[in-house]
Each structure stands twice: as structure tokens, then as C-alpha cells.
Structure 1
Amino acid sequence: MSLFSHEIENFWQAAFLGGEIRCREGKLTLAVNPALSEDRRVMLLATADGHTSAVMTPALADQLDLGSGQGLTEQVLRQKLRDGQVALHGADYVFYFSEATKRVLLEEAPVHTLRQLTAADEAVFAEFQAAVSEQDLDDAYVELDHWLVFGAFEGERLVCAASMYPWEGQKLADMGVLTLASSRGRGHASRVVRAISRHACGLGYQPQYRCQVDNQVSAALARTAGLSQFGTWEVISPDSAESL
């Protein structure tokens, strides 16, 4: 039985198995789908159970000579991608709340130092943004005009903020979180992640937390906040030729 909701499982199955299955070999499945968008024309998903799913356009699969023959492994697949000059963007960890953890989350009482932010918080949010680096702002992608925004306060000062934006046509909502350097290590980020996730779950959305696999601080935050790793997700890099 899966740790995660049917909505999460169904989303990823549709993304990777919605086309024609060209190959199943051990723990590797390769599918082709002509409906993939330009920036998703090659994707790999390695789930926590050790299985890897790959999907790409039929034209690219043919170009890389990825037929239905025997002996295809993840190592061989990745080598064919490299030989074909198909570069993958750095892998993301993908985290969700398990169904059991989500039930606990929904029963938690609100924390008095946390609250939802609105347009009325423009001044306090601007002060918060001014206190962090441009790099941190870019990496976290936390914006006051996102679909859902929560913040943690020390007195009247906003010291940590998280925002969410739903995926188009899906009940998944990505989140970003950012804490002032002077207020880190006090548990603000994990509490804000849980608060915004609780609110999103109450609206029928599945909170989704993603970070690069080399960002161990962010991955540790996800786990501390109670999220479980679903897998690692890779998509084609913008550096690959558009003709591929």
C-alpha cells in the first residue's frame, strides 16, 4: 500500500505512463508520449521503491534507437541520452506528506506566531525581502502575490515566509520557503511549512516540496517538517538543442 494519496500516485502515473509503454525491464519502464510539452520532452522519475520511469517523445526515442528490445537498463538509457547530446537538468527531490502524516497535520492547532499573509502585508513583506540576498530570493521563489502565503513573526517582524502556487489543472501546490539568516535554527521554517500545508490540505490540495538533490539543507527541512521523499525527478535541460 502506498504512503501517498491516490491523487499523487495518479498524477505521476499519468505523467510517465500515459503514453505507449515501449519497454519494461526489471525496475525500469520506458514510455513514449507524443503529447509531451517542449520543456518536458524527456523526463525521468526514480521513486523511493527503487523503480525508475522514463518518458519521452516517440521521435526522440526513435532518434536514440530506444526500441522495445531486451536489455535496456537505466545505465544504458542514460548513456544513450549522453551519446545523443540530450542533457538533463539537475535532479529534484520531490516530497509529499504521507496520508498518515497528513491526518496528524490536519489536527494540529494553529501557532500564534504564524498567520496567513495578504496584500495588506505589503510593507512588512517588503521589509522582509530587503533583508535577504537576491540569490536567496531567487532560490526560494517566495512571493506575496502567490496563491497562498504564510509567515512567522518575531514580535512585529516577519522572519520567515512560505508561499504556494498550484500546478495548472492539478490539485498539487508547489511551495517555497525563506528565513532571515539571523532567525535560522529556531524552527520557524518547519512550522511555516506545516502551517501553509495544513491550510492547502484543507482546500483540497496536495502540498509539494521540491529542491535540488545537492541542497541538503532544504531536503533536511522537508523531512523535519514531516514530509516524505516520493522520488527524484529529472527533465530535459534548456541547454539541449530544441531540435532533439
Structure 2
Amino acid sequence: MFSPVIESFWQSQFLAETTVFDSERLSVHINPALEEARRLVLLERAGGKLMVALKPAVAQQIGLLPQAGDLTPESVRLMLDEAGIALHGADHVFHFSDDSLAALLSEPQAAHIRALSAADEKEFAEFQSQASEQDLDDAWVELDHWAVFGAFDAKCKLMCAASMYPWDGAQIADIGVLTLPAFRGQGQAWRVVRAICRHAAQAGYQTQYRCQLDNAASIALARTAGLSLYGNWDVIAQDAEI
């Protein structure tokens, strides 16, 4: 069971005056209030139901009307394909369940993990210099984010870091994590993730952990850190034309 904050945030995208279709497998909502960059949103819940929200212009382009008749997840995806509407590419979205969050809050923090600040700029710059450009882009861990935590070795070298920033104005903090290659496989990442997530929870924020569907290592990290899959989230591609 997930926090009401999480449920309310995700469900808010699918609250609309016009519900085109609703069944056990699929719900489709026309929502004029969606941001232009997210004028088409899909959320496939871990239980299997696909939820779709789209602005009227997108609904019109694919021929989706309030009288659309019987629909399935497969038929809606086919309509998008036939209309030439590309998607950004789905992410797994993980959150802590209520029970997992309670366990997180009750555990002590490892002594070699702590919050980072501007005073750690030199150590953080050295840390980033040893990571590949691809790893830096994928993780997006920055010292000036809302919260930053790191794990240090016996020589005070930064081995792993995670940072968070508030997501879409909600009480949800999106997380990125990066471990230097030399320190992978030691369990540093999941310990740092739990430390920063505990900090976020104590500040009133729910953690959001996102990764691509084919990123097996990141999926394993999320589960080891105690997070549970909420669903798969996708939006319209940035360069899609409507």
C-alpha cells in the first residue's frame, strides 16, 4: 500500500471532465489541463491496468471520441502508432510502500554515509571527474540539488552519491544515484539510497525512483533499497507533432 500523497499525485493526471472509457484493464481520460509537454500521459500500474490521459487535440488526431466504443490497451497503443504519435519511452516508477517506509525510518544510518553540502565541492568535483559522461547523464546527481548524500571510504574518498529534487511541485522527491566503477558491487548504492530517502521522509517527502525498463542493474538497486514498483510511466516524445 502506498502513501495517499503518491496515489493523489498520480491520480491527479487522470482526473478529467471527460472519461472516454473505463474498465478493469484500461481507463482513458481527455484532460485539457495537461501541460503541453505532457499532452499525452500513460501509466501502466503494476497490477496491469493502463491509464491514459490526453489533451483534446491528441484525442482528435487519433480519432478517440467520447463515443469510441469498446477499447483495450492494445487498441489504444495501435491508434497511437497509426497516427504516428511517438512516445518518449517508458520508465519504471518505484516508491516505498507504507510498511517499507516505516522500516526505513526505524533503522540507523551507516557511519560512512552523510549529507553533502557546498563544503564538499572539491570532493564532489573529484568524484564526478572519475565518472563517464554517460553515467553522469544517466544519474544526474548534482551537489546543488535539494538533498545530496554520499558514502566515503577509509581515505575520505567519495565512492557513491545520490541527490534528490522535488518533483512537479508535489511532496515527492525524484532521486538519482551514481557509484564509481571501482566501488560497485559493495552495496554502497543501496545504503546511500536508503540514507537520503530517510532524510526525505523525515522532511515530509515521498521518494520517487525512476529507471528505464531495460536497466536491470537499476531495477535491482531499487528493489534492494526496499522500493516497490508502482507502475510504468510514459509521455509523448518532445518532438512529436500534433
Q: What is the match of residue 12 of structure 1? A: 10
Q: What is the match of residue 151 of structure 2? A: 152
Structure 2 length normalisation: TM-score? 0.97
Identity %: 53
CA contact (8 A) 1:25 1:70 kept: no
After superposition, the Cα gap between the structure-2 partners of 1:215 and 1:201, relative to the gap in structure 1 and judged at 3 Å, is same
1:239 maps to 2:239: yes
Q: Which of 49, 61, 75 is residue 51 of structure 1 equivalent to? A: 49
Match runs of 1:27-176 below 5 Å: 27-67=25-65, 68-155=67-154, 156-176=156-176
Give 1:234 shift: 0.6
Q: Which amino acid aligns with 1:140?
A: A
Q: Which amino acid aligns with 1:64?
A: I
Equivalent residue pairs, number: 240
SS in 1 for 2:110: coil
Once residues 136 and 227 of structure 1 are traced to their aligned partners in structure 2, the CA distance between those partners, rounded to angstroms, is 22
Give 1:204 shift: 0.2
CA contact (8 A) 1:25 1:71 kept: no
- Deviation larger for 11-20 or 36-45: 11-20
- Deviation larger for 59-68 or 151-160: 59-68
Give 1:24 shift: 1.2
Q: Deviations over 1:81-115 (max 9, x none)?
A: 01111101111000000000000000111110100
Give 1:19 shift: 4.4
Give 1:224 shift: 0.5
Once residues 172 and 38 of structure 1 are traced to their aligned partners in structure 2, the CA distance between those partners, rounded to angstroms, is 22
Q: Deviations over 1:132-155 (max 9, x none)?
A: 101100000000000000000112
- Deviation larger for 215-224 or 11-20: 11-20
SS in 2 for 1:149: strand
CA contact (8 A) 1:92 1:232 kept: yes
User: What stretches of structure 1 of length at least 5 have no aligned partner?
Assistant: none
Q: Deviations over 1:44-103 (max 9, x none)?
A: 100011111000001211221112332211111011101111101111000000000000
1:197 maps to 2:197: yes
User: What stretches of structure 2 of length at least 5 have no aligned partner?
Assistant: none
Once residues 174 and 193 of structure 1 are traced to their aligned partners in structure 2, the CA distance between those partners, rounded to angstroms, is 11
- Deviation larger for 19-28 or 4-13: 19-28
Give 1:16 shift: 1.8
SS in 2 for 1:79: helix
SS in 1 for 2:13: helix
Once residues 143 and 226 of structure 1 are traced to their aligned partners in structure 2, the CA distance between those partners, rounded to angstroms, is 23
- Deviation larger for 206-215 or 69-78: 69-78
Once residues 57 and 99 of structure 1 are traced to their aligned partners in structure 2, the CA distance between those partners, rounded to angstroms, is 33
After superposition, the Cα gap between the structure-2 partners of 1:112 and 1:19, relative to the gap in structure 1 and judged at 3 Å, is farther
After superposition, the Cα gap between the structure-2 partners of 1:19 and 1:135, relative to the gap in structure 1 and judged at 3 Å, is farther
Once residues 16 and 64 of structure 2 are traced to their aligned partners in structure 1, the CA distance between those partners, rounded to angstroms, is 18
Q: What is the match of residue 186 of structure 1? A: 186
Q: Which amino acid aligns with 1:229?
A: L
Q: What is the match of residue 214 of structure 1? A: 214
- Deviation larger for 21-30 or 126-135: 21-30
Structure 1 length normalisation: TM-score? 0.96
